[in-house]
Amino acid sequence: MRIIAVLLSLCFSLLAESAGYIGLSIEDSTEFFLLEGKDTVNASTPQYTIKAGYGDIAGYGVEAALSYMDYTTNVFSKNDGAALMLDITLFKGWDAGHALYPYLDVGIGMGNMKVDRELESSLTFSSFNFGAGVRYLIRKNVDFDLGINYKLRTWQAVSLVSEQVKVKSHLINPYIGINYHF
Amino acid sequence: MKTELKHSLSTLILAAFMLGCGGTSDSDPLIPEIVSIEIDGTDVNSSVHAIIIDADPSQLTATVTYDDSTSANAADQLDWESNDTAVMTVLNGRITPVANGGTAAISASYRGRLFTTADKNVTITPLSDINITCEQDINVTVDSNDTLYHAEFNTAGDYTLLANGIFEDNMTVSAIGSNIEWKSSNTNVATVGETTGIITIIATGTADINVSVFNDINKTLLIDVNITQ
């Protein structure tokens, strides 16, 4: 009962001052890959994201983001390709005055990355992320977005025949973006 | 408003262009790549005996080699296949003869892909003859043609019959425990465990105890039972 009440409250607050928006952002981060109990490797990648969301910039909101990234270091094969990710993020923002809207966010995602291995041509992964940022309203309908995110990714096991290698990765990535509110 | 939006977008696009400069480096990946999987056959000597004996290296192994020069045994992970399962079967690289002789090609695959450079041909050395003995102190004799065995029992109870094998390469096996079948012609006098060879003497009389290996080599033990106590 309490959970239903919280969800209803969240829905009403979402609808209160809600509006849709679209945006894009870029980031450049270094991701730390950990081979279960063995080696690690760092790989940097720029990431380009387009997103669409619905909610109140000073309240609750939900956002779907489609990102593209291409690591500058080979991680899984000698010819790693690009990755596409879809993230769903919930955020809570506040009106701090002076057109500044700080927020916290948490979300999950999944993606797929092209690799060139004997047994795999692509690998899927899931992710959990949380972060914080601030939006600055340039105009009534446009905000400038600056934030930082922590992501933990769990990758599909890679087969070496004799064993299945499990890989996890994590990264802290700062990003900048711009959103247009309808 | 439009000017500010254009300026912001321009900044983002410029930043994206700068981030996008540079390609993937040619460093070695975190996880090595599979180069080959080969069945190791040098120890198998291309031959196992029809009844596996301790000296037989009937276990095939498969070695995965990676591009970082390391390797690993993957016998348990591969799907093994014999091209003639009427001659031998193979599971996790372990060969089990099904027939008394013959040759089969053994291959291995993983996820439906064949990595091995060549199949491994394995030949079964056939069993050429068997003889019958009793584990207990019972005198078992054989006729001059080496075909009909004879034994006498004077006490009811259990006795263990053994079928000992001789292969074409003159190696022997002391007690055949597989691909063997025992039968009694008169279960009122004696019964026998179909695969164990344990004979139970029940009553006075005679019975033929037949033993067959691979349905190919057959011998008969004639028993005379005269229970005196």
Nearest to A26 among B16, B23, B64 (CB): B16
> Is residue A132 scored above 90 in pLDDT?
yes
Mean pLDDT of A99-121: 95
| Domain CATH code at residue B189 | 2.60.40.1080
Give the model's pLDDT for residue B61.
85
Window 103-142 of A, Cβ < 8 Å to B: 117-119, 138-142
From B125, B158, B188, give the residue that closes a domain: B125
From B125, B140, B155, give the residue that closes a domain: B125
> Is residue A119 scored above 50 in pLDDT?
yes
Amino acid at B47: S
Same domain, B38 and B55: yes
Within a domain: residue B2? no
Please give the ipTM for the structure prediction: 0.73
| Domain CATH code at residue B43 | 2.60.40
Local confidence band at A17 (pLDDT 50, 70, 90 cut-offs): low
Q: What is the DSSP string of A105-173?
A: EEEEEEEEEE---SS-SEEEEEEEEEEEEEEEESSSSEEEEEEEEEEEEEEPPEE-SS-EE-EEEEEEE
Give the model's pLDDT for residue B23.
47
Domain that holds residue B83: 34-125
Instruction: Count up the domains in chain B and report the number.
Output: 2
Same domain, B166 and B103: no
A11's CB contacts (< 8 A; 6+ apart) are none
Give the model's pLDDT for residue A4.
61
Same domain, B134 and B60: no
Give the model's pLDDT for residue B144.
85
d(CA B140, CA B225) in angstroms, rounded, equals 13
Same domain, B95 and B54: yes
Same domain, B134 and B159: yes
> Is residue A91 scored above 90 in pLDDT?
yes
Nearest Cα residue in chain B from A145 = B8
Residue located via tokens 């005196």: B228
Q: Nearest Cα to B203, choosing from B226, B180, B222? A: B226
| Pairing, β A100-114 against β A83-93 | antiparallel
Give the model's pLDDT for residue A87.
96
Nearest to A162 among B16, B25, B73 (CB): B73
Same domain, B95 and B62: yes
What is the residue-averaged pLDDT of chain B? 83
d(CA A105, CA A136) in angstroms, rounded, equals 16
Distance from CA of A76 to the nearest CA of B (A): 5
CATH 2.40.160.20 is held by the domain A2-181: yes
Q: Domain spans of chain A?
A: 2-181
What is the residue-averaged pLDDT of chain A? 88
Q: Is the model's pTM score more than 0.80?
A: no
Within a domain: residue B152? yes
Give the model's pLDDT for residue A8.
52
Nearest Cα residue in chain A from B115 = A118
Same domain, B52 and B70: yes
| Paired tokens of A124 | 């899927």
From B99, B125, B151, give the residue that closes a domain: B125
Residue ranges, chain B, pLDDT below 50: 1, 12, 14-23, 43
Interchain CB contacts (distance < 8 Å): A and B:
104
Give the model's pLDDT for residue B120.
82
Same domain, B158 and B96: no
| Paired tokens of B126 | 């056939």
Same domain, B196 and B162: yes
Nearest to B24 among A28, A40, A72 (CB): A72
